[in-house]
Structure 1
């Protein structure tokens, strides 16, 4: 019932090469990836909802605040990504 990335579609057997590749990733890299994924998702969601609130409901304060939070989340994601590359 739960998603298992190592399970094959039909046979239920695990792919040892995929499992070994994922296990060889450092925890720092995995944490950075998860952080970036969350920041980008939050940023895009907040910008989208904020612009919808401004455009369709005319709620400038709440919609503008959400859009700003989204932009800040995306900027933080870019900063974290570029710092990781150094």
Structure 2
């Protein structure tokens, strides 16, 4: 288990710039990202660590389940990211 696994991150480079993901696992300088919608648990996106920024989140999230090796679904991930985006937009206004 790595220190990055389960974190909510925002992509800073590539065609998915600005999108939110959870880190499913880490291998060297690469991480594997899931969003529950396009990048599902069975087909995560491979990306370099330097191309994402971690976000702080105090509430329970699917990331906790990922870190604890518990079962998590694409629906849980998708729902959490959708709610996070909604709250993030409200704060910025």
Same fold (TM over 0.5): no
Q: If each structure's strand is expressed as a fraction of its own residues, which one has the higher value?
A: 2
- Report the structure number with the largest CA radius of gyration: 1
Q: Which has the higher contact order (CA 8 A, sep 6+)?
A: 2
What is the TM-score when the length of structure 2 is the normalising length? 0.29
